[in-house]
Amino acid sequence: MDNKTIFHETTKYMPGGVNSPVRSYKNIGITPPVIKSGKGAVIIDEEGKEYIDFVLAWGPMLLGHSDEDVVRAIKETAENAIAFGAPTKAELEMAKFLCDNLENIEMVRMVNSGTEATMSAVRLARGYTKKNKIIKFAGCYHGHFDGFLVEAGSGVLTNSIPGSPGVPTDNIKNTLIGEYNNIENLKGLFDKYGDDIACVVIEPVAGNMGVIKAEEEFMEALRELCDKYGALLIFDEVMSGFRVAFEGAQSLYRVKPDLVTYAKIMGGGLPCGAYGGKKEIMEHLAPSGDVYQAGTMSGNPIVMAAGLATLSKIKKNREEYYNKINCLGDKLEKGLLKIAKEKGIPLVINRCGGMFTLFFTKLKEVKTYNDVKTCDSEIFIKYFKHMLANGINIAPSQFEAIFLSAAHTEEHVAKFLKTFSTFEL
């Protein structure tokens, strides 16, 4: 069966033919390739067409697809341990790895996704502070938990959904929306609601409105205001963790978070998540404390094995991998800007290590969500179709990131640039 036939058949059984909205390419107006296999930086669809993959499962595959060490860890573990719903040594190893290697993590709780990690961290912050409100920033995405579906990024933004039907107004009445990189706006929110703010949750390097890095002064103001009003600061590092640097975005700022959430890379491509932080806060979780959060599959042995194999390999080769990814990213960024200039394509690129976004805008720089909204989606759609038709797999949205892995090569970058050079407005 060809891609189209499989996809159309799937729409009979699954809403929109997908298990996560952005995969459907609805905003682009085409059907997506149906992917059969992947090795390294290359994926192959059901028709046998190859693509150099810059989506990497939306971030997780930093080692590339089906890395041999990760595959071995999964196979070996599955021989004897699939799921127990009981304590295992694998959990200890993963928890120890995270606490030993990440500066602000003294204790962790494993979960099954980024949504679960961030939603649970918010519950813990509310339980700990005994306050109700949260601040999130317009354009940031923290998963599909009710309280986050206001002015969210990622698929919510791609499909122009400001929130979501099915989310009762009561569930978002305690969600305050801040403006990313706007200190005055943040102060205003704390002035007005400071006594009841449990936490601020932020993507320190945003990836869900396209890549935008929070400014140092903004982060410092955020920390000061949280301290002044007794609110917790939560870094959502689901995307940036182990991606922008081994220690994540936390290592790029002087400011330290109280809680941090992870998923994507830490699971090596399997369903995984974690949240962690100061021991004194984490011990409020049941059973040591009274904030309830649980999961049948949390800390699953195969997931832990895949995650540990991934993280240990990254740690062992960290210099080589992050240098390589940075160099390839730099080449791509410079090359794309040069081509765009020659061709008169309006383009700004924001890059943080191995994640970057092409913003098709006439602005000189993109620093806020309002800047992002100036992008020309028609140009994006044309560009996307051109790249995909020529074997370059990128996320089907102006508001997502392009990812690089340790498996990408100079040739892959050259092919990206060559393909972009034949794109006509």
Task: Work out whether 275 is an interface residue with ligand PLP (CB under 6 A).
Answer: no
**Binding residue for ligand PLP (CB under 6 A) from 33, 40, 64, 114?**
114
Shortest distance, CB of residue 112 to ligand PLP, whole angstroms?
A: 8
Could you write out the DSSP letters of every residue in 145-205? -GGG-SS--HHHHHTT-SS-TTS-HHHHTTEEEEPTT-HHHHHHHHHHHGGGEEEEEE-SE
Nearer to ligand PLP, 245 or 379 (CB): 245
Task: Work out whether 53 is an interface residue with ligand PLP (CB under 6 A).
Answer: no
SS3 405: coil
Task: Work out whether 311 is an interface residue with ligand PLP (CB under 6 A).
Answer: no
From CA 348, how far away is CA 340, in angstroms rounded? 9
Pairing of strands 355-359, 402-403: antiparallel
Q: Which residue has the tokens 């699954």?
A: 14
**Interface size with ligand PLP, residues (CB under 6 A):** 16
Shortest distance, CB of residue 113 to ligand PLP, whole angstroms?
A: 4
Restricted to residues 201-230, the positions that interact with ligand PLP (CB under 6 A) are: 203, 207-208
Nearer to ligand PLP, 113 or 129 (CB): 113
From CA 227, how far away is CA 313, in angstroms rounded? 37
Restricted to residues 231-270, the positions that interact with ligand PLP (CB under 6 A) are: 236, 238-239, 263
User: Annotated catalytic residue: which of 25, 51, 128, 141?
Assistant: 141
Shortest distance, CB of residue 114 to ligand PLP, whole angstroms?
A: 2
CB 28 within 8 A of CB 381: yes
Shortest distance, CB of residue 80 to ligand PLP, whole angstroms?
A: 27
258 is catalytic: no
User: Annotated catalytic residue: which of 264, 313, 324, 367?
Assistant: 264
In DSSP terms, 44 is beta-bridged to 37, 50
Shortest distance, CB of residue 47 to ligand PLP, whole angstroms?
A: 28
Nearer to ligand PLP, 97 or 148 (CB): 148
Sign of CA dihedral 98, 65, 3, 378: positive
229 is catalytic: no
Nearer to ligand PLP, 200 or 413 (CB): 200
- Choose one: 33-41, 137-145, 280-288, 358-366; the region binding ligand PLP (CB under 6 A): 137-145
Q: Which residue has the tokens 């996809």?
A: 7
Q: What are 17's two structure tokens? A: 């033919």
In DSSP terms, 164 is beta-bridged to none
CA-based radius of gyration for the chain:
21
Binding mask 141-170 for ligand PLP (x = CB under 6 A): xxx----------x----------------
From CA 42, how far away is CA 57, in angstroms rounded? 12
Shortest distance, CB of residue 48 to ligand PLP, whole angstroms?
A: 29
Percent helix, percent strand, percent coil in the chain, to nearest 5 = 45, 15, 40
Residue in 424, 418, 416, 399 with CA at minimum distance from that of residue 51: 416
Nearer to ligand PLP, 379 or 401 (CB): 401
From CA 256, how far away is CA 277, in angstroms rounded? 10
- Choose one: 2-10, 139-147, 163-171, 209-217; the region binding ligand PLP (CB under 6 A): 139-147
236 is catalytic: yes
Question: Under the rule (CB under 6 A), what is the footprint of ligand PLP?
Answer: 58, 113-115, 118, 141-143, 154, 203, 207-208, 236, 238-239, 263
Catalytic residues: 141, 236, 264
